[in-house]
């Protein structure tokens, strides 16, 4: 049986960023971090009993800003995990960290308690951008954080950057990419800014001067090109890694591997079903303190039909540069890929999809219009 992934949601931030619509709370407004961690531990214990036979090969602390937790708090959660689950020897344990929340002591302790991968949220090398995004740090802070982690012996670092920021030109974004590459991180994630409802940016959207579609496209294509030259492999729409440094945890999402989420708004995919917990820390804590499981929100009321499952498989696999392996697809579902997805040929002809190593995959240009193409070729989504 394949390894299990654990996702631990830490929904606290020093301050909410102007573009962020993920479930997180301003930390100052919430004083019950300890209470939340206790609930998490109860939850881990509860799930551990159900999946005690499974080998856990990834743990991911996401947020929010997990790095605002004290080392003791992280350790407490990790101990609970070790207590309830069986972790593989080379288990990938990632924590998301924001510059400005890391100290030398924290960096060293991460290493000592077994954290072997850190994902730093930088977003931009321009302090103006950072300010506008509502980040609490500067580029200098990032440099310092990076240095602290490296010196502490963390040798698997990922850096998050964003593009399509207000007033940003392709040159500006590439400047950020180049400055990040100077550190030679093992992994880079590059996300396109999207103006989501319920964010400050949404409220002031009319005043933001965002790069147009063509400029965004240029940013993306230049990014893919530049990172390739720098020795990174693009393995997913927004993710780039040095050889052997893909995020094992992240890959689970697209390979439909099993993962369990912990915390409000966390998503799980286990034994063929998907569900999430509601976006309420109160409900989450109350349930667990009362000895109950938090309420699950199932993705679908009825199990997926076979056709839906096939299309979901294709949708997820096509997020990856490895794409859909035709032989594997046909063995798995017993049908021919080409006869099911006839429109695929047209996109292949026009350079949006390519076939390599027996698999269909999006090209960078195809990735950037993948929703359009997927909604055209998938009949059963």
Partner 1 sequence: MNEKQKRIRNFSIIAHIDHGKSTLADRILEYSNAVSKREMEAQLLDNMDLERERGITIKARAVRINYTHKDGEEYVLNLIDTPGHVDFNYEVSRSLNACEGALLVVDSTQGIEAQTLANAYLAVDCDLEIVPVINKIDLPSADVDRVRKEIEDVIGIVAEDCPAVSAKVGLNIDTVLDAIVENIPAPKGDENAPLKCLIFDSHYNAYLGVVVYVRVIDGTLRAGDKIKMMSSGAIYDVVEVGYLNALGLEKGEELKAGEVGYITASIKTVSETKVGDTVTTAENGATEPLDGFKEALPMVFSGIYPADGARYNDLRDALEKLKLNDAALSFEAETSIALGFGFRCGFLGLLHMEIIQERLEREFNLDLITTAPSVIYKIDKTNGETVFIDNPSNYPPTDTIAKAYEPTVRANIITPTEFVGGIMDLCQDRRGIFKDMKYLDATRVELHYILPLNEIVYDFFDALKSRSRGYASLDYEFADYEESSLVKLDFLLNGEVVDALTFIVHSEKAYTRARKIAEKLKDNISRQLFEIPIQAAIGSKIIARETVRALRKDVLAKCYGGDITRKKKLLEKQKEGKKKMRRLGSVEVTPEAFMAVLKLDDSEK
Binding residues for partner 1 (CB under 8 A) = 7, 9, 22, 62, 191-192, 194, 213-214, 216-217, 220, 237-238, 252-253, 259, 261, 265-269, 274, 276, 299, 312, 315-316, 319, 350, 352, 367-376, 378, 381
Helices 71-84 and 104-112: crossing angle in degrees, nearest 10, is: 10
Which one, of 202, 138, 126, lies nearest residue 167 by Cα?
A: 126
- Closest separation between CB of residue 168 and partner 1, Å? 15
Distance in angstroms (rounded) separating the CA atoms of residues 241 and 40: 31
Please say whether the beta carbons of 381 and 375 come within 8 A. Answer: yes
> Closest CB to partner 1 among 124 and 141?
124
The number of residues in the chain equals 381
Tokens of 77: 């959660």
- Closest separation between CB of residue 68 and partner 1, Å? 18
- Closest separation between CB of residue 327 and partner 1, Å? 24
> Closest CB to partner 1 among 148 and 320?
320
- Closest separation between CB of residue 275 and partner 1, Å? 9
Spatial CB neighbours of 8, under 8 Å, sequence gap ≥ 6: 40, 59, 60, 61, 62, 66, 77, 262, 263, 266
> Closest CB to partner 1 among 97 and 265?
265
Helices (H), ranges, 24-96: 33-50, 71-84
Residue owning tokens 């992240």 = 250
CA dihedral 218, 220, 225, 230 (to 10 degrees): 130
> Closest CB to partner 1 among 286 and 372?
372
> Closest CB to partner 1 among 360 and 368?
368
Distance in angstroms (rounded) separating the CA atoms of residues 70 and 78: 13
Q: Is 134 left (phi over 0), alpha (psi -120 to 50) or beta?
A: left
- Closest separation between CB of residue 59 and partner 1, Å? 13
- Closest separation between CB of residue 273 and partner 1, Å? 12
- Closest separation between CB of residue 119 and partner 1, Å? 12
> Closest CB to partner 1 among 9 and 148?
9
Distance in angstroms (rounded) separating the CA atoms of residues 58 and 152: 21
> Closest CB to partner 1 among 25 and 374?
374
């Amino acid at each position: 049986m394949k390894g299990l992934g654990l996702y631990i949601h830490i929904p606290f931030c020093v301050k909410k960023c102007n573009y962020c619509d993920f479930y997180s709370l301003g930390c100052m407004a919430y004083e019950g971090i300890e209470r939340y961690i206790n609930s998490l531990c109860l939850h881990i214990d509860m799930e551990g009993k159900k999946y005690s036979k499974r080998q856990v090969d990834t743990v991911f602390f996401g947020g929010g800003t997990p790095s605002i937790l004290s080392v003791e708090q992280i350790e407490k959660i990790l101990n609970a995990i070790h207590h309830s689950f069986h972790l593989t020897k080379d288990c990938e344990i990632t924590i998301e960290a924001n510059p400005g929340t890391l100290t030398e002591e924290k960096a060293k302790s991460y290493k000592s308690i077994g954290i072997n991968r850190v994902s730093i949220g930088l977003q931009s090398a321009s302090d103006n951008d950072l300010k506008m995004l509502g980040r609490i740090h500067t580029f200098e802070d990032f440099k310092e954080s990076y240095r602290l982690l490296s010196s502490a012996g963390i040798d698997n670092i990922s850096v998050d950057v964003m593009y399509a920021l207000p007033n940003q030109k392709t040159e500006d974004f590439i400047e950020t990419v180049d400055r990040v590459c100077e550190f030679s991180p093992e992994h880079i994630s590059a996300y396109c800014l999207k103006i989501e409802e319920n964010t400050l940016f949404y409220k002031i959207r009319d005043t933001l001067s965002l790069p147009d579609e063509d400029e965004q496209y240029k940013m993306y294509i230049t990014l893919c090109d530049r990172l390739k030259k720098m020795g990174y492999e693009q393995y997913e729409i927004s993710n780039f890694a040095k050889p052997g440094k893909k995020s094992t945890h992240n890959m689970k999402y697209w390979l439909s591997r099993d993962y369990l989420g912990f915390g409000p708004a966390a998503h799980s995919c286990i034994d063929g079903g998907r569900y999430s917990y509601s976006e309420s820390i109160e409900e989450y804590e109350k349930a667990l303190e009362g000895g109950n499981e938090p309420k699950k929100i199932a993705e679908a009321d009825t199990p997926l039909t076979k056709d839906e499952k096939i299309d979901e498989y294709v949708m997820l696999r096509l997020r990856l540069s490895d794409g859909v392996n035709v032989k594997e697809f046909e063995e798995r579902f017993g049908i021919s890929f080409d006869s099911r997805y006839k429109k695929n040929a047209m996109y292949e002809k026009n350079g949006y999809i390519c076939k390599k190593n027996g698999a269909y995959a999006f090209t960078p240009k195809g990735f950037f219009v993948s929703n359009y193409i997927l909604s055209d070729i998938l009949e059963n989504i």
